[in-house]
Structure 1
Amino acid sequence: YENMYKTPCSRLSGNLRCLATGFVGVVGVSLKQLIQNVPHCNQTARCLIQLHKRDPSRWLTYQHLNFLKRQYVTKNNSELHQRAAQKAAPCPTSVEERDDNGVERRVQRIPTLDPVLTDNVSSSENITIHVETDEAKEARLDRQWKQLKVDGAQLPDIYAKLAKIKLTALVVTSAAAGYAMAPVPFDPVIFVVASLGTCLASCSANSINQYFEGPFDSNMNRTKNRPLVRGQISPLHAVSFALACGVPGVALLTLAVNPLTGFLGGLNIFLYTCCYTPLKRHSIANTWVGALVGAIPPVMGWTAATGCLEPGALLMGGFLYCWQFPHFNALSWNLREDYSRGGYRMMSVTHPGMCKRVALRHSLGLIGLSTVAPALGVTTWTFPVISLPINLYISYLAFVFYRRGDRSSARKLFFCSLWHLPMLLLLALTCKKPRGGPEEAAAPALAL
């Protein structure tokens, strides 16, 4: 360091050169002592780090947090995945060492093996080797790979669960209500054919839905007893049942009723299986898509009777659309743990505040739709008056659910929605506005 700082100073002259040389010499000696102490400090710090690395028991890992060992849901790429935090397997640690030449090397430490105690083991002990016979091997393989056997006596019950028979009954009922509210004479043959085609289309959509969601239904208490989860039926059998219902159902609606109704039936299957089902694991928009799917059946009933889309058909679909939000949001509120385990993105799981607001907003929307019905010529002005009490009651329960957000208020709102929809449709049917002369006015009465 002295030579480095003296070289530029040699260009100076006289006393200035001597003064600069002496000052630089003092600074050089101080820097030299500081640099000599730096390696010693670095070596001490490196030794402390290596001492800490040699004792993995002192490391703070995620396994020290007990709650991470339980089931939980993580968000990754806008998806909810079900994972379990597993205990990390012991792995060899790597330590940085420095040799005599000052070159750092990364040395991989191999965990020590526990010594094997052989004092109590006698060398003369006979070792018995069990040879598996062919019969035992065949029995073991038979237990592992058992052929799926379907009992013919259980098939009706399996098909009913696969088709979600209660949900299908609700779909057919709403389609029948749309048919009955249409301003045309009642045709029993078209009514039966349209109801049958709607039933088959709903069975097909529900079966395909269970086929796609089979791996996730096993994580939910509400769906763990479905046929595909329990292995009562094979996936190929389920898809075959869906095709056997969907193709004749859409064909029946198209050929025997009218092409518009057949198109709506096929569109509903597509929306339910290809849009709503995959969206359940990606976005909360699935609730709105599902409400649209539920709103199409009464429109299908109206088009089956009239053969065209009219404001009355959209009104009937609007009733089903608004009703589904207080119904489903209240249902999903008490099933949040189930939906979390299944990895579904529901409003009740990811946006609880929005879930309560949407339920209240659409409950109030039922009052508005009931008021619009006579203005569109679908019902008389008596309908908004006599339907106001039940609409106010479900809106009140939705408001309580919005304020409290507990299980009790959600349960009351859900059970109210079960009787509210049939009551609302029945009141609309009794207040249906007659069309034309007395002959056409008497036709709906004869149909009842």
Structure 2
Amino acid sequence: MFRTSCSRLQGVWKCLPHDGLVGAIVQQNLITNSSRSHLSARSLIQLCKKNQAEWMTFQHLCFLKRQYVTHSSALCQRARPKQETVTPVLDDREDSVLRQVDQLPNIKSDSGTEVPACDPQNEPEAARAARLEARQWKELKVEYSDLPGVYARLSKIRLTALVVTTAAAGYAMAPVPFDPFTFIMASVGTGLSSCTANCINQYFEVPFDSNMNRTKNRPLVRGQISPLHAVSFALACGIPGLTMLTLGVNPLTGFLGGLNIFLYTCCYTPLKRISITNTWVGAVVGAIPPVMGWTAATGSLDPGALLLGAFLFSWQFPHFNALSWNLREDYSRGGYRMMSVTHPALCKRVALRHSVGLIGLSALGPVLDVTTWSFPLVSLPINLYISYLALRFYRHGDRQNARKLFFCSLWHLPMLLLLALTCKKSRVTRDEGDVAAGATSLAV
């Protein structure tokens, strides 16, 4: 392809001794004169060894070769300049899709006038700018009629309903007569306290929720309400809620409500990005509502209240670990340190351990004089089933078994509480036992 002069130059380049640092020892005037005098490669190498006064880098030599090829008119090959690819500023994917679709014919309306078809290539500049502006992120304008839905999502209404249900179960399990006024005050106060904790939690996690598919549509992330609006709503729920629990029920229940808000917002929320101990702190937060229901009825912390709290504490590990297992990518993207992300083996072990622990806790019901001896027997099938699913999740650790364990936990807790309420030790039986014990002591 090249003529003799260019081929000799290539031969010189191949035979040049390469230095260990950057290039070869060669003098510039020798290379420029080599094409004219048709020197051989051996003579050029000898001249290079004699003239070591000047050094030339490898990049400079490559530049001289390109200059030689470009400016020599006798060569048969020309260097083609490299074309730089221009990337568009805006990625009009919709336009590229529309160009591939055949243009629709003009549509005739009822009045007889033809409606022209939309052509992206001939689209006016103003219409194109308006279309691109509509695709950009901007703060949503919320009407007053949409505020109830926004408040429901801000307070995590389904989680709040679960908290109120467990608190009501704790109240119903207490060995005291049913008082409707106290029950309503305890339920409403617990629900308002839960709304406050969930609202503050979303206020702190806005930068991280925007990175997760599961939480990117929350009201604060989408800008449906301002942070000040969210904090005001949290205060509007928290102050009346704690007042109702403290003054309308008893101070112990109000203290537990305030403690739960503090643990959820000031301990659990920041720990999610620091350590996996956030799961245990969150389990304590979930175990307090049934204890609040018990203390609302009795005014004291009894072993029965602690047993109900232990039920909720152990149940949350198979429930949440199975849920977080299928959301590992989301939690990792948001920067949360969950067991399923950082310690997957521990995540499976803890879920299995607490699932089996529910069987032992059910056996403590009659021992602590909370339920009859039929409760461990009737609750054994559902406890064995959730333990079996936890064992499969521990062995395989796949998404399918995690999903089965999660959905089982959704109906397991209501069923367990319902069975405990059915097998609750009646108050009449307790009174008879107290009377018999009193008579025995008098006889002695």
Cα deviation for residue 435 of structure 1 reads: 3.0
Question: Does the residue aligned with 2:176 lie in a helix, a strand or coil?
Answer: coil
Confirm whether residue 320 of structure 1 aligns to residue 316 of structure 2: no
Match of 1:152 in 2: 144
Cα deviation for residue 144 of structure 1 reads: 9.3
CA distance in 1, matches of 2:314, 2:392: 18
CA distance in 2, matches of 1:146, 1:220: 19
Match of 1:279 in 2: 271
Is 2:328–2:341's contact at 8 Å kept on the other side of the alignment?
A: yes
Match of 1:179 in 2: 171
Match of 1:259 in 2: 251
Cα deviation for residue 149 of structure 1 reads: 3.6
Match of 1:223 in 2: 215
Cα deviation for residue 45 of structure 1 reads: 3.9
CA distance in 1, matches of 2:139, 2:304: 53
Cα deviation for residue 151 of structure 1 reads: 0.8
C-alpha distance after superposition, 1:254-290 (max 9, x if no partner): 0110010000000000000010011001100000000
Question: Does the residue aligned with 1:254 lie in a helix, a strand or coil?
Answer: helix
- Pick one of 315, 328, 335 that aligns with 2:327: 335
Q: What is the aligned length?
A: 322
Cα deviation for residue 230 of structure 1 reads: 1.0
Is 2:163–2:289's contact at 8 Å kept on the other side of the alignment?
A: yes
Question: Does the residue aligned with 2:427 lie in a helix, a strand or coil?
Answer: coil
- Pick one of 201, 215, 220 that aligns with 1:209: 201
C-alpha distance after superposition, 1:139-174 (max 9, x if no partner): x99999977643101000000000000000000000
Cα deviation for residue 218 of structure 1 reads: 1.1
Match of 2:226 in 1: 234
TM norm structure 1: 0.67
By relative contact order (CA 8 Å, sep 6+), the higher-ranking structure is 1
172-181 vs 147-156, which moves further: 147-156
CA distance in 2, matches of 1:146, 1:182: 51
Confirm whether residue 421 of structure 1 aligns to residue 417 of structure 2: no
Confirm whether residue 304 of structure 1 aligns to residue 296 of structure 2: yes
Question: Does the residue aligned with 2:274 lie in a helix, a strand or coil?
Answer: coil
Is 1:434–1:440's contact at 8 Å kept on the other side of the alignment?
A: no
Cα deviation for residue 436 of structure 1 reads: 4.6
Question: Aligned AA for 1:349?
Answer: V
Question: Aligned AA for 1:213?
Answer: E
- Pick one of 379, 382, 404 that aligns with 1:412: 404
CA distance in 2, matches of 1:175, 1:184: 15
CA distance in 2, matches of 1:408, 1:341: 22
Match of 2:381 in 1: 389
Cα deviation for residue 47 of structure 1 reads: 3.7
Cα deviation for residue 439 of structure 1 reads: 8.2
Is 2:379–2:416's contact at 8 Å kept on the other side of the alignment?
A: yes
CA distance in 2, matches of 1:228, 1:286: 23
Match of 2:358 in 1: 366
CA distance in 1, matches of 2:373, 2:346: 34
TM norm structure 2: 0.67
Q: Unmatched 5+ residue regions in structure 1?
A: 1-42, 50-99, 101-114, 116-139, 442-448
Is 1:148–1:234's contact at 8 Å kept on the other side of the alignment?
A: no
Question: Aligned AA for 2:341?
Answer: V
C-alpha distance after superposition, 1:69-92 (max 9, x if no partner): xxxxxxxxxxxxxxxxxxxxxxxx
Instruction: Give identity over the alignment, percent.
Output: 78
